[in-house]
């Protein structure tokens, strides 16, 4: 009589304990991997940011060679309207309409020259005036495709912009700025970085002390760098923080002039002196988007 061998229908499977063990190992590995990936991401962004500042450095040298000097960075324009260093940097690199810097520009926020003649915002419909305007342009000194240019209204709420005294040009556009590479989606709906701050050295001055800072944008200072050059912009605070400008959570640390002068101070001399005392300073807010913190990236080696 033949024996019939019965095959078991049961299949091998993981037990609950085994599954939980595997899942625990995966969670631990992810916990170890995510910080490492974040560090790699931040390092890559830092490399990109340094590259952006190097590109602006090169563009500013082209501007300097063309006009025998670096662009102005004062907080106000000749009409005493708010038009700060970051905005003047953008105009110098690209022009107010992105078609190049007009040689007759005096860095007025409304795009007029010293004779109150409009030099930006012209269209081909203006005929000869448009052609003459283009012939007078220099640059752009930065490639427009990767210049990261945004209007203030792309970054800040309207209430903060008006509170800073910034107004539109004849075409209804707010001043433009060059933004850094640390992008985030803002309440305006745009995904941008923070403006790159620009300060031009005043080589006729010889100090660098917060206690000697000018009390207002239109008051002269004995300091080589004037923190007011971008203060009206900094004073609008972090745009992703709700609430009016001036609240503690919204404020940048660099709103305090002590922070600005400490961050830009050279360690090479005993007397308080700034980094790059004969040229200019560029500052990115860094990964956290806040000016005046340890992750700010500048066009000089930080402490």
* End-to-end CA, the chain: 93
Q: Which residue has the tokens 């095959």?
A: 7
Q: Mean pLDDT over residues 253-268, rounded?
A: 93
Q: What is the pLDDT of residues 176-189, one digit of tens each?
A: 999 999 999 999 99
pLDDT of 155 reads: 96
Cite the DSSP H helix spans in 68-178: 85-94, 128-135, 152-155, 158-163
pLDDT band at 9 (very low <50, low <70, confident <90, very high): low
Rama region for 100: left / alpha / beta (φ>0; ψ in -120 to 50; rest) = left
Q: Mean pLDDT over residues 267-278, rounded?
A: 88
Whether pLDDT at 162 is above 80: yes
d(CA 282, CA 265): 14
Whether pLDDT at 198 is above 70: yes
pLDDT of 10 reads: 56
Do 99 and 138 meet the contact criterion of CB atoms below 8 Å apart? Answer: no
d(CA 112, CA 94): 16
Most confidently modeled range among 23-32, 59-68, 246-255, 293-302:
59-68
Q: What is the pLDDT of residues 85-118, one digit of tens each?
A: 999 999 999 999 899 999 999 999 999 999 998 8
Enumerate the β-bridge partners of residue 195.
179
pLDDT of 37 reads: 67
Neighbours of 48 (CB within 10 A): 14
Angle (CA) 259-211-221 rounded to 5° is 100
pTM metric for this prediction = 0.86
Whether pLDDT at 220 is above 70: yes
**Range from 18-22, 132-136, 162-166, 203-207 carrying the lowest mean pLDDT:** 18-22
- Closest Cα partner for 110 from 133, 141, 78? 78
Whether pLDDT at 301 is above 90: no
Do 289 and 252 meet the contact criterion of CB atoms below 8 Å apart? Answer: no
Do 12 and 259 meet the contact criterion of CB atoms below 8 Å apart? Answer: no
pLDDT of 145 reads: 79
pLDDT band at 34 (very low <50, low <70, confident <90, very high): low
What share of the chain in percent tops pLDDT 90?
A: 63
Residue 183 per-residue DSSP state: -
Q: Mean pLDDT over residues 47-61, rounded?
A: 94
């Amino acid at each position: 009589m033949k024996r019939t061998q019965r095959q078991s229908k049961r299949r091998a499977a993981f037990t609950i304990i085994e599954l939980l063990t595997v899942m625990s190992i995966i969670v631990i590995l992810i916990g170890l991997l995510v910080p490492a990936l974040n560090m790699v991401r931040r390092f890559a962004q830092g490399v990109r940011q340094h590259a952006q500042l190097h590109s602006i450095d090169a563009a500013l040298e082209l501007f300097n060679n063309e006009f025998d000097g670096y662009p102005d960075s004062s907080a106000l324009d000749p009409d005493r309207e708010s038009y700060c260093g970051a905005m003047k940097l953008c105009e110098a690199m690209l022009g107010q309409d992105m078609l190049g810097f007009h040689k007759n520009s005096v860095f007025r926020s409304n795009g007029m020259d010293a004779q109150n003649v409009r030099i930006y915002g012209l269209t081909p419909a203006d005929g000869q005036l448009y052609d003459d305007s283009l012939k007078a342009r220099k640059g752009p000194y930065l490639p427009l495709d990767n210049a990261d240019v945004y209007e203030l209204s792309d970054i800040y709420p309207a209430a903060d912009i008006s509170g800073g005294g910034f107004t539109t040009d004849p075409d209804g556009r707010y001043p433009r700025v060059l933004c850094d590479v640390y992008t985030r989606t803002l309440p305006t709906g745009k995904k941008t970085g923070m403006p790159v701050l620009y300060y031009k050295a005043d080589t006729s001055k010889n100090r660098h002390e917060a206690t000697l800072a000018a009390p207002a944008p239109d008051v002269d200072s004995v300091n080589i760098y004037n923190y007011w050059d971008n203060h009206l912009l900094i004073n609008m605070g972090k745009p992703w923080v709700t609430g009016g400008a001036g609240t503690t959570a919204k404020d940048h640390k660099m709103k305090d002039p002590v922070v600005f002068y400490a961050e830009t101070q050279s360690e090479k001399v005993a007397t308080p002196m700034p980094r790059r005392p004969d040229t200019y300073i560029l500052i990115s807010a860094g990964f956290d988007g806040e000016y005046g913190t340890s992750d700010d990236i500048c066009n000089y080696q930080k402490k």
